[in-house]
Amino acid sequence: MADMEEVLERQEQEMRQRMRRRAASKRAQRELDEQLGMTVAFLEEENQSHRGSQEGQASNVDKHRHSWCKNLLEDYFIPQSLYSDVHFRARYRMQPHLFNKVMHDICNYDDYFVQKKNCAGNLGLLLEQKFTAVIRMLAYESSADQVDEIARMGKSIILESLVRFCDAVENLYTRDYLRRPTPRDLQRLLQKAKSRGFPGMIGSIDCMHWQWKNCLIAWQGDYGNRKGQKNIILEAVVGFNTWVWHAFFGVTRSQNDLNVLGQSLVFNDVLRGEGPNITYQINNTIYQNEYYLAYGIYPRWTTFVKSIPHPRSQKEIFFAAYQEGYIKDVEKCFGILQGR
């Protein structure tokens, strides 16, 4: 009886050891798979950003990442010819220093992106994995199912990373980028407008109807227009360098630019008497109000300068050509948004 108990105890110990070895092997394989997924993601980003990019000196971070990926690829017996063809370097469409800055700021804002250990002591996902998945979804309109194999992440983690990333960007950078012009910004806008022949102009204003293909069924009555399409309207004021410093987004129903202007906040500071103090002279007349370039649908206010519908004289033709040319700034910005 004692011999039988000893045999059973020895078998149980051996079974525990096999289970520990098997768990350790799976854990090591999972970590290698995560690193390989990150490497493949970097390689794919390299292939996509390689087109049209120029050769340059690699930073220390790029060289370190290059060596790390090379060693990892060699460990997985990936052919060297395949690796040398892509000439792996972190040449993103986003500049590397900008990518690193955004990554550093967001990691300090939300520790969800920081790589941590779980209760078993296993390292979690790399922050580059989460950032690569999120940026691919935003840049290429990919779904979570399209990037989960590349980043080696679960769909729920990718979606949570996307939501946290957007919240962090909004909270961190809205104050710096989507804001009213500071006196220094205003001076730069006015100088550029004066050199273009429009002193006192601080931007172009227009609306864009953004088609909402995945509109919720419960909201389709609110966001449907007279053609049966589901649209959201964006009103924006854009500078010469496609800087959007005013955005009014989310207006429902079939509304035109005038209806949106009636709900917009673009003139709130002017109505409160807090508008910028601008003085300029045209045809020996001194003006003290800034203005925007706009299309013919906008009202005949002093804050809007519109084109001449049917120019006849040479002066009118000249003015209409320049006004219609410079108001293309806002259309260029809308084209960039729609293209992305």
> Does position 206 have pLDDT exceeding 70, yes or no?
yes
Give residue 64's pLDDT: 45
Query: Looking at residues 186-211, what average pLDDT do you find?
Result: 89
Listed range (79-88, 119-128, 168-177) with the worst mean pLDDT: 79-88
> Does position 65 have pLDDT exceeding 50, yes or no?
no
Residue 89's pLDDT band (cuts 50, 70, 90) = very low
Give residue 78's pLDDT: 36
Label each residue of 217-250 as H, E or C.
HHHHHHHECCCCCEEEEEEEEECCCCCEEEEEEE
Listed range (127-141, 163-177, 229-243, 297-311) with the worst mean pLDDT: 127-141
Q: What is the Cα–Cα distance from 306 to 201, expressed in whole angstroms? A: 12
Q: What is the Cα–Cα distance from 279 to 181, expressed in whole angstroms? A: 17
Label each residue of the chain as H, E or C.
CHHHHHHHHHHHHHHHHHHHHHHHHHHHHHHHHHHHHHHHHHHHHHHHHHCCCCCCCCCHHHHHHHHHHHHHHHHCCCCHHHHHHHCCCCCCCCCHHHHHHHHHHHHHHCHHHCCCECCCCCECCCHHHHHHHHHHHHHHCCCHHHHHHHHCCCHHHHHHHHHHHHHHHHHHHHHHHCCCCCHHHHHHHHHHHHHCCCCCEEEEEEEEEEECCCCCHHHHHHHECCCCCEEEEEEEEECCCCCEEEEEEEECCCCCHHHHHHHCCCCHHHHCCCCCCCCEEECCEEECCCEEECCCCCCCCCCEECCCCCCCCHHHHHHHHHHHHHCHHHHHHHHHHHHC
Looking at per-residue confidence, does 307 or 255 come out higher? 307
pLDDT in tens, 284-329: 888 888 889 999 889 888 889 999 988 889 988 999 998 998 998 8
One-letter identity of residue 151? A
Residue 42's pLDDT band (cuts 50, 70, 90) = low
> Does position 203 have pLDDT exceeding 50, yes or no?
yes
Task: Tell the residue number behind the tokens 């039988």, with chain if given.
Answer: 4
In this prediction, what percent of the chain has a pLDDT beyond 70? 77
Query: Looking at residues 199-213, what average pLDDT do you find?
Result: 87
Give residue 87's pLDDT: 34
Give residue 277's pLDDT: 78
> Does position 181 have pLDDT exceeding 80, yes or no?
yes
> Does position 73 have pLDDT exceeding 60, yes or no?
no
Average per-residue pLDDT for the chain: 76
Residue 71's pLDDT band (cuts 50, 70, 90) = very low
Query: Looking at residues 149-153, what average pLDDT do you find?
Result: 76
For 28, other C-beta atoms within 10 Å of its C-beta total 11
Listed range (41-50, 193-202, 250-259) with the worst mean pLDDT: 41-50
Q: What is the Cα–Cα distance from 241 to 329, expressed in whole angstroms? A: 8
Measured CA distances, 178 to 66, 104, 111, 260 (Å): 36, 21, 25, 19
Query: Looking at residues 239-266, what average pLDDT do you find?
Result: 81
Give residue 70's pLDDT: 44
**Rounded to two decimals, what is the model's pTM?**
0.56
Residue ranges covered by each domain of the chain? 2-175, 183-339
Give residue 139's pLDDT: 75
